Amino acid sequence: MTGMCSRRSVSADVFEAELIPDEVLEAWVDDDFDVNERRERRQLDFALVSTGVVVVVFCVLSAIWGVAGHSMIANYSTEAPGSTINIEWGESVFMPRDPDCIDAQNGQDLPEYGIGYEPSLAIDGHGNMFITAHKDLRWSSPDGGLANPLSGEPHIYPDGACLSDYMTSWDYFASWFWITNDNGTTWTRAANFEETPGTILEGQVTNGASGSACLGDEGDIAVDAVNRIYYLDTYLEDNWIHVFSDGGNTFESNFCDRQSSMAADDRPWIQAQNNGIVHYLGNSGVSIQDCENGPARYWYYRSDDGGQSWSQCFSMPGGWSTIAPERSGDYVFVAQENQDTATGHVQVRISSDTGLNWGDPINVGPRDGNPPEGYPLVETNGNGTVAVVWADCPNGKIGAWEIRLAMSYDRGETWETWNITPDDWEGITMYPFVSISEDNITAVSFYGIPYDNTAEGGYVAGQEWYLYTAAVREPHANDTFNFEIAAYNPDGTPEVLHTVTQYEEDAEDVHALHDFFETVISPDGTWMGIAYQQNIGEHPFEDNEEQRYIKFIRGDFDL
């Protein structure tokens, strides 16, 4: 652009030519010159003049605007900070059930697919991906659960898996665990996670036959820098941990290895870095006294031997929390609500020595309203970039929601925080999740309801939930995220994740898609994947609930 602005040949002479009458121009040319050719050349001259005018105007504006003029042009490139990254989405796929466990009479509308919710997603350095998901505990036997011997009501604990005519929607007793070795095209089970027929009463839970026989409720997955995969599954009293390599095709640990955590656990978060350093952030649900540094709802555990042994007793006071380490590096970040209150702020704790020591919490942004069961989500790419995203509902849980993003490009020394909710958005923006590529493509996704998708507006029966995503290269304060629906049906219509029911409208219940979902960006930074939930059909055992299916979708970045 500097070269264009330095050329001064399109000046007074050119602009004077634009004013010369047609008859004068025609007198200047030879009489044998074709009239049509004269007209075409004159039109070309005028086109060049117009181009010159645009160039001159741009140069003048550049002189006035300076850097702003440069940014306007630079944003046409996907390499420029703040530039939008367009995403071309493929078709979504369901997570499969083992063929030997499919039961067409179990009450599922789609019995060949896995029932579950709250999917966790991880990716290794080769693009292999891994998904786990919460099992549906009420979908476990012909009567919807093992009978409680005291009350006779259905029990919350399971009693069967992969049994013919047993009405189960599971392949095994552990939480779901799927792997893909072809970038998300097909999904299967991991090594030693074959189907596990039997019931708890038959003693099939920890018989050592398979990791899938280890009773679990909901899990999480981590990958370290040498592509070792850690799958941690909770059964409330403690957690099992299983270790894999080779994209999930080689089983490396013992079966049903106990983590030996100190307290009962609800939601496990596991992350890994370098060669065998594993971080675990456990949620006890309520604040309890630990053995070292005071009471807290969240406890941090650390392993430096690949999950074989764990430190104990480090509490992290605060509300909902998540954790993210540099996969190859020393830094670890925890984002959390400062406390379990409706308002306050989001804070970040930082360790610069792989979790051995932690600094004081840093306030990175406000919370003006507490979304139901939302997590501030932290992610880092290992090159100094850290992102924290969270939902805010200052207008109440069924009023217009917002999304806030905090970015740091110096490992948490300084932060930029701003509201990335679209200007024209009014609706719900639930469970935002963020992923960052090595070259700072930052993708934010959420479950959303735009309140204008029915004539009534607002949170009313008939409103539809969709999956939204936007990606920006190296975003800074006030950069725009152009959120668009990510998942579409083969006929081109948006894929509806759930439709608000009359019960949900009356109860102001916004929990149909449960507590979270996750995204990843490929190692080469050219595509992203999302594991998410779609509700299809009425639930046979729970009132006012639907069948919950786990899906995956991949999108290629237009770079």
> CA nearest 318: which of 359, 350, 349, 351?
349
Q: How many C-beta atoms surround the C-beta of residue 422 within 10 A?
A: 18
Q: Which residues pair with 301 in a beta bridge?
A: 280
> CA nearest 470: which of 398, 558, 533?
558
Q: Which helix (H) or strand (E) holds 14?
A: helix 12-17
Q: How many C-beta atoms surround the C-beta of residue 474 within 10 A?
A: 18
- pTM, to two decimals: 0.85
Q: How far apart are CA 333 and CA 350, in angstroms?
A: 5
Q: How many C-beta atoms surround the C-beta of residue 102 within 10 A?
A: 15
Assign 32 to helix, strand or coil. Answer: coil
Domain boundaries of the chain, sorted by first residue? 2-74, 87-557
Q: How far apart are CA 315 and CA 240, in angstroms?
A: 21
> CA nearest 299: which of 268, 274, 258, 326?
268
Q: How far apart are CA 225 and CA 322, in angstroms?
A: 20
pLDDT digits (tens), the chain, 559 positions: 333 333 323 333 333 333 334 443 343 334 443 434 433 433 434 343 344 433 333 343 344 343 333 333 334 578 999 999 999 999 999 999 999 999 898 999 999 999 999 999 999 999 999 999 999 988 877 665 554 444 455 555 667 888 887 888 999 989 999 999 999 999 999 999 989 888 876 655 544 468 888 888 899 999 999 999 999 999 878 899 999 999 999 999 988 888 888 777 778 899 999 999 999 998 887 777 776 788 888 889 999 999 999 998 789 999 999 999 999 999 999 999 999 888 999 999 999 999 999 999 999 999 998 787 778 999 999 899 999 999 999 999 999 999 999 999 999 999 999 999 988 889 999 999 999 999 999 999 999 999 987 777 899 999 999 999 999 999 999 999 999 999 999 999 999 999 999 999 999 999 999 999 999 999 999 999 999 999 999 998 888 999 999 999 999 999 9
Q: Which two structure tokens, joined as six digits, stand for 210?
A: 């398979």
> CA nearest 249: which of 180, 202, 198, 310?
180
CATH, range 87-557: 2.130.10.10
DSSP string, 126-162: TS-EEEEEE--TT-SSTTSSPBPTTT-SBPSS--EES
Q: How far apart are CA 367 and CA 105, in angstroms?
A: 47
Q: Which residues pair with 417 in a beta bridge?
A: 406
